[in-house]
Each structure stands twice: as structure tokens, then as C-alpha cells.
Amino acid sequence: MELTHKYQNQDLSAESAKNGNISKKWNDLAEVSSNTLTQKQNLNLATKILKDFAPNLCAKFANEALERCFSAKTYTLTQLRLNCAGLQNSWLSAQITYLNSISGATQMTEMQMMMLVSNISQTYGYLKITELMVFFFQLAGGKYGKFYGAVDPMQIMVDLNEFMKYRSVMLDKIESDRRSEERNKMLSNPKCITREQYEAQKKQNAK
């Protein structure tokens, strides 16, 4: 769905200066998520999530830290709900309202947006908010085609299902890279030997 939007051709360097370093956002979030939160901390968490993972930052995350959006320790929608009641709906509503406003097509009604928020929350509660930011960035960039006439919540759910295939590819790549890196580290260890070297030493010792 090709949209008229603010995601593309965005001045990311200016946005970075304005919104701070992405790594710090993740580090701060991981620190908060490891603790049992008080009521005040819940409010602070909600404020932080809505600010640091806002709709206008989807391009920044997707362009500057794509793999980390899938691999980093961040909240899932379900974890948002468990830590702060209603936060997952507030965050999703902000994303969908922004998408709706920049669509260039007939916008969804408030009821349609509420139903879409509910459907995403219930079906994809295990997704990280950063993964969903990549999805919304791709959706706004036309990766899944055009909206014809109106922004269609059912089509967005179809597109999200398609995004899950892309997510699987990304997770497989990340895991493959991790294993390759571990293997390279192991082979660079002077005390490490290959299977062939082990078998050769075993035969030598048996003589």
C-alpha cells in the first residue's frame, strides 16, 4: 500500500540529534524491564515508550538498526500490557493513527482503528514493538502495495501476516550469523582443533 508519508526521505541525522541515540533507548528500556515496577515507574515507562518508540521514529529504527529491531531485548505488546494496563493499545493507536493520517486515502474510522488495535494485540502480542515499527515503516513505504480508495484494516492484517515471513527470514539470518561468529571465535582459539586434527592426534597416540 503505497502511501503519501513522512517516513521516506526523512533527515535521519537531524532526527537522531533531536531524539537521541537508539542504543541508549534500548539500554534504558532493558534496565527498566528487568525490575518490578511501581505505579510511578509504570507511568514513567508509558511516557518513555510513547516518546522513544513514537511513529515518526519508525524510519530511524528500520534504517539505522534493522537487525537489532529483531534481536534486541525490547518489550513485546503483551509485556507492555502486563507492565502498564492499556499501554499496548495506546502505543498501537499512536502508530495506526499516524499511518491513517499520512495515507493519502480515505481514512479509517475510529471504530475501525479500535478494532485493528484489538486484532493486532490479540493475534500478535508476542511481537516486539521494534519489530512492529519495521512493519509500519514498510507498510508506509509501499512494500505491500497500495491502499485503493480507503485505508483497509483487514488488508493491514493480511500485510502483517506477510510481514511474518520477512520476520522469519530475519531471525534465521541473525541466528546463522550468531552461530558463524561463535564458530569463528572457537576456531581462532589456539587451543581449539578441528575434528580432523583430533582424529589424527588420536591415531598418533594409539601407536
Dihedral sign, Cα of residue 32, residue 33, residue 38, residue 41: positive
Average pLDDT, the chain: 81
Give this prediction's pTM. Answer: 0.74
What is d(CA 10, CA 110) in angstroms, rounded to the nearest whole number?
28
pLDDT class for 22, splitting at 50, 70, 90? low
Q: Which residues, at least 6 apart from 91, have a Cβ–Cβ distance to it below 8 Å? A: 49, 50, 53, 77, 80, 129
pLDDT score of 31 more than 90 = no
pLDDT for 180 equals 87
Residues in Cβ contact with 69 at an 8 Å cutoff, skipping those fewer than 6 apart: 61, 62, 128, 130, 131, 133, 134
More confident residue, 19 or 114: 114
Which tens digits make up the pLDDT trace of 165-176? 999 999 999 999
* Helix, strand, coil content of the chain in percent (nearest 5): 70, 5, 25
**pLDDT per residue over 39-61, tens digit each?**
777 788 889 999 999 999 999 99
DSSP-based three-state secondary structure for 99: helix
Residue type, position 72, single letter: A
**What's phi and psi for 2, nearest 5 deg?**
-80, 125
- What is the grid cell recorded at 144? 505491500
pLDDT of residue 60: 95
Lowest mean pLDDT among 76-85, 121-130, 166-175: 76-85
Closest Cα to residue 76, out of 131, 21, 38? 131
Among candidates 83, 90, 85, which has minimal Cα distance to 37?
Answer: 83
- The residues facing 141 across adjacent strands are 2
Helix (H) / strand (E) containing 37:
none
- 196 pLDDT above the threshold of 70: yes
Residue 143, pLDDT above cutoff 80? yes
Helix orientation angle between 153-188 and 129-140, rounded to the nearest 10 degrees: 120
Task: Report CA-CA distances (Å) from 178 to 24, 74, 182, 185.
Answer: 23, 19, 6, 11
With bands split at pLDDT 50, 70 and 90, how would you rate the model's confidence at 133?
Answer: very high
